[in-house]
Amino acid sequence: MDAPDLFPPPEAVEGGSRTIHLRPGADLDGFRAALRRLVADDVPPDRVTWSAGDAPGLFGSSPGAEPDAPPVALPKPVAGLIPMVVPHRDRERYALLHTLVWRVRHGERHLTEVASDPLVHRLGGMRKAIARDLHKMHAFLRFRRIETAAGERFVAWFEPDNHILEAAAPFFVDRFRSMDWTILTPDGSAHWDRATLAFGPPGDKAQLPEGDGFEAGWRDYYESTFNPARTNLKAMRAEMPKKYWHNMPETAAIPGLVRAAASRTTQMIERAPQMTIKRDPAKAVAAMSDQAPKTLDALNAIIKRSEPLVPGATQAVLGEGRVGSTIAFVGEQPGDQEDRQGRPFVGPAGQLLSRAMAEAGIDREASYLTNAVKHFKFEERGKRRIHQKPTAGEVSHYRWWLDRELDFVAPKLVVALGATAVLALTGKSIPITRARGPFRFERLDDRFQGFITVHPSYLLRLPDEAKEEAYATFVGDLRRVAELGRELAG
Which pLDDT tens digit goes with each residue over 358-387?
A: 999 999 999 999 999 999 999 888 888 988
Amino acid 120 reads V
**13-17, 78-82, 95-99, 307-311: least confidently modelled range:** 13-17
Tell me how far apart the alpha carbons of residues 19 and 7 are, in angstroms, rounded to a whole number: 8
Terminal alpha carbon distance of the chain: 77
Query: Angle at which helices 93-105 and 76-85 pack, to 10 degrees?
Result: 170
Quick one: pLDDT band at residue 221, thresholds 50, 70, 90?
A: low
Q: Which residues pair with 50 in a beta bridge?
A: 20
Higher pLDDT, 269 or 346: 346
Cα distances (angstroms) measured from residue 452 to each of 90, 380, 464, 475: 63, 31, 24, 13
Check pLDDT > 60 for residue 487: yes
Average pLDDT over the chain, rounded to an integer: 83
User: Mean pLDDT throughout 55-62?
Assistant: 39
Higher pLDDT, 490 or 445: 490
Tell me how far apart the alpha carbons of residues 189 and 198 are, in angstroms, rounded to a whole number: 8
Tell me how far apart the alpha carbons of residues 29 and 6 are, in angstroms, rounded to a whole number: 11
Tell me how far apart the alpha carbons of residues 59 and 90 are, in angstroms, rounded to a whole number: 20
Cα distances (angstroms) measured from residue 76 to each of 110, 130, 376, 388: 10, 19, 26, 23
Compute the CA torsion angle 55, 61, 63, 67 (nearest 10 deg).
Answer: 170
Could you tell me what percent of the chain has a pLDDT over 90?
A: 54
Cα distances (angstroms) measured from residue 461 to each of 248, 415, 454, 477: 56, 21, 12, 19
- Predicted local confidence at residue 420, as pLDDT: 94
Q: For the full predicted model, state whether its pTM sits above 0.85.
A: no
Look at strands 368-371 and 327-331 and give their pairing: parallel
- Predicted local confidence at residue 413, as pLDDT: 95
User: Mean pLDDT throughout 6-31?
Assistant: 71
433 burial type by CB count under 10 A (0-12 exposed, 13-18 middle, 19+ buried): exposed
- Predicted local confidence at residue 2, as pLDDT: 41
- Predicted local confidence at residue 108, as pLDDT: 93
Residue ranges of domains in the chain, CATH in brackets: 10-136 (no CATH), 213-267 (no CATH), 296-489 (3.40.470.10)
> What does the H/E/C string look like for the chain?
CCCCCCCCCHHHCCCCCEEEECCCCCCHHHHHHHHHHHHHHCCCHHHEEEECCCCCCCCCCCCCCCCCCCCCCCCHHHHHHHHHHCCCCCCCHHHHHHHHHHHHHCCCCCHHHCCCCHHHHHHHHHHHHHHHHHHHHHHHCCCEEEEECCEEEEEEECCCCCCCHHHHHHHHHHHCCCCCEEEECCCCEEEECCCCEEEECCCCHHHCCCCCHHHHHHHHHHHHHCCHHHCCHHHHHHHCCHHHHHHCHHHHHHHHHHHHHHHHHHHHHHCCCCCCCCCCHHHHHHHHHHCCCCCHHHHHHHHHHCCCCCCCCCCCCCCECCCCCCEEEEECCCCHHHHHHCCCCCCHHHHHHHHHHHHHCCCHHHCEEEECCCCCCEEEECCEEEECCCCHHHHHHHHHHHHHHHHHHCCCEEEEECHHHHHHHHCCCCCHHHHCEEECCHHHCCCCEEEEECCHHHHHHCCHHHHHHHHHHHHHHHHHHHHHHHHHHC
Which pLDDT tens digit goes with each residue over 403-414?
A: 999 999 999 999
- Predicted local confidence at residue 166, as pLDDT: 94
- Predicted local confidence at residue 178, as pLDDT: 86
Tell me how far apart the alpha carbons of residues 194 and 40 are, in angstroms, rounded to a whole number: 40
- Predicted local confidence at residue 16, as pLDDT: 64
- Predicted local confidence at residue 66, as pLDDT: 44
Compute the CA torsion angle 484, 486, 487, 490 (nearest 10 deg).
Answer: 150
Where is mean pLDDT largest: 10-19, 199-208, 321-330? 321-330
90: left (phi over 0), alpha (psi -120 to 50) or beta: beta
Cβ neighbours of 127 (radius 10 Å): 17
Cα distances (angstroms) measured from residue 117 to each of 113, 121, 123, 359: 9, 6, 10, 69
